[in-house]
Amino acid sequence: MTAATRKPAAKKPAVRKPAVAMTAPKPEKKPKKEKKADSKVKVVRDSFTMPQTDYELIAELKLKALKAGLHVKKSELLRASLQNLSKLNAAQLKRAISSLEKIKTGRPKKA
């Protein structure tokens, strides 16, 4: 057989691709969690300077609380003090603050 007498090969039918590409289904969005009223409070770290006598008062107050059967931290004493100061009127607050010893702010020099 010669090339001229050979029968052409039959064409295979073309496979049609779908017009729309197949994509994975989008995951459903989860509903946002609502904040609970009892959710954790953000805490802030800070530093401050105070006279040695005031610092010793913290130790005395801790002992006093311990004798009353209450274990208390320094930060809890300071927070309780702030809560009580916030209940004062302007004149009482002014009197309490003006009775404090004025100190130089900043870190004390190393001895």
Segment 27-58, tens digit of pLDDT: 677 666 666 666 788 989 888 888 899 999 99
In the three-class reduction of DSSP (H, G, I as helix; E, B as strand; rest coil), residue 19 is classed as coil
Whole-number Å distance between alpha carbons of 74 and 71? 10
**Do residues 108 and 47 make contact, with C-beta atoms less than 8 angstroms apart?**
no
Domain for residue 9, yes or no? no
Domain for residue 79, yes or no? yes
In 3D space, the residue among 33, 71, 77, 28 whose CA is nearest the CA of residue 55 turns out to be 77
Domain for residue 93, yes or no? yes
Name 66's Cβ contacts closer than 8 Å, sequence gap at least 6.
72
Total number of domains in the chain? 1
Region of poorest pLDDT, from 13-22, 51-60, 62-71: 13-22
Residues spanned by the domain of 87: 73-101
Whether 1 has a pLDDT exceeding 60, the answer reads no
